[in-house]
Amino acid sequence: MTTDWTDRTVLVTGAEGFIGSTLVDLLRERGARVRAFVHYKPYGDKGNLAHRMDDVELIAGDVRDPGRVMDAVAGCDTVFHLAALIGIPYSYDSPGAYVQTNVTGTENVAEACRRHAVRRLVHTSTSEVYGTARTVPIGEDHPLQPQSPYSASKIGADMMALSHWHAFELPVTVVRPFNTYGPRQSARAVIPTILAQLHAGARQIKLGSLTPTRDFTYVTDTARGFLALAECDRALGEVVNLGTGREIAVGELARKLIEASGRDGVEVVVDPARLRPSGSEVERLLSDNGRAREWAGWRPEVPLEEGLKRTSEWIADHPHLFAAGRYQV
């Protein structure tokens, strides 16, 4: 389903991030007026939005600041809330920052949406909230298991968003993407980590645990899912997974990328510094995407092999963004 977004005012938080900037591109293609909420940084805050400076309204701020968020939401039809701290290793070091940004930040966004009576708030969750799958594929009713402070903070954020539906009838949908990958993703994620090392000519690809499986969705598919769910009345007050329904182990993914690179003799090694504490490692994530398919007509369109090829080309074109081999928390 392709909806006309022409002349609607849409706020995207985390707009300069990996998924947020891709969503901004799609919204602009569909004609929306985009207000981009980016994290204020004294040395520049454009991130992945540098190419959009002339056709979005940029608001630099911090989701922890309720007043700034209130102003940003005023006059918006739809709010896509993606701003968050997302790295799992950094959440071991600084859990309080995750509570403030992810839980309090979401409360600020939901409250502003209520005050300004927006048509729809789309809040972004993550498959990390499920923890290691107890049953597969993982449906939205799977238990929530906070295996990292990041996961715990996103569970808190999801509940805060949903509480505004139950208590105040705020039209909220919680979108729960499984691992998303593609151009613009930061170096800490597993696919850029592997590709950056490969492109730098490493003979050994250093990774954390090789056995966990993940369900990877290409970023433009994830962004289309956000738009489809923003229009889906069945998804009001509900959580909806976005995933492909296909899983691959990290070690197998690395071997696939090495093979595609055509380089011989490259080995994959476990770097102890990259291992998560054993109780924190999420061993298996595989989505049931039935709700997104049936309720919103969403289908992932980019096969893993094609998405990896596009991501590899993008990383090859942006070597300066990746300090190959150095572990980035």
Ligand X SMILES: NC(=O)c1ccc[n+]([C@@H]2O[C@H](COP(=O)([O-])OP(=O)(O)OC[C@H]3O[C@@H](n4cnc5c(N)ncnc54)[C@H](O)[C@@H]3O)[C@@H](O)[C@H]2O)c1
Residues that bind ligand X (CB under 6 A): 14, 16-20, 39, 47, 62-64, 82-86, 101, 105, 124, 126, 154, 177, 179-180, 186
- Least spacing, CB of residue 29 vs ligand X, in Å: 18
| 180 vs 312, beta carbon nearer ligand X | 180
Spatial distance between the Cα atoms of 276 and 280, rounded to a whole number of angstroms: 6
**Does residue 192 sit in helix, strand or coil?**
helix
Identity of the residue numbered 233? D
| 62 vs 77, beta carbon nearer ligand X | 62
- Least spacing, CB of residue 238 vs ligand X, in Å: 17
Choice among 130, 150, 181, 218 that is catalytic: 150
Identity of the residue numbered 154? K
- Least spacing, CB of residue 152 vs ligand X, in Å: 13
Identity of the residue numbered 302? V
Spatial distance between the Cα atoms of 122 and 124, rounded to a whole number of angstroms: 7
- Least spacing, CB of residue 267 vs ligand X, in Å: 26
Q: Which residue's C-beta sits nearest to ligand X? A: 17
**What one-character-per-residue DSSP string does 176-187 give?**
EE--EESTT--T
- Residue 118 vs residues 6, 13, 158, 177: alpha-carbon distances, Å: 17, 15, 18, 23
| 35 vs 39, beta carbon nearer ligand X | 39
| 150 vs 266, beta carbon nearer ligand X | 150
| 189 vs 202, beta carbon nearer ligand X | 189
- Please return the burial class of 296, using the count of CB atoms within 10 Å of its CB with bins 0-12, 13-18 and 19+: buried
| 86 vs 112, beta carbon nearer ligand X | 86
- Least spacing, CB of residue 184 vs ligand X, in Å: 7
Catalytic residue at 218? no
- Residue 228 vs residues 94, 164, 221, 246, 260: alpha-carbon distances, Å: 34, 21, 11, 21, 33
- Residue 143 vs residues 133, 165, 176, 214, 279: alpha-carbon distances, Å: 9, 21, 14, 18, 16
Identity of the residue numbered 84? A
- Least spacing, CB of residue 214 vs ligand X, in Å: 9
**What one-character-per-residue DSSP string does 51-100 give?**
GGTTTSEEEEE-TT-HHHHHHHHTT-SEEEE------HHHHHH-HHHHII
Structure tokens at 53: 């400076």
User: Any idea which residues carry the catalytic annotation?
Assistant: 150
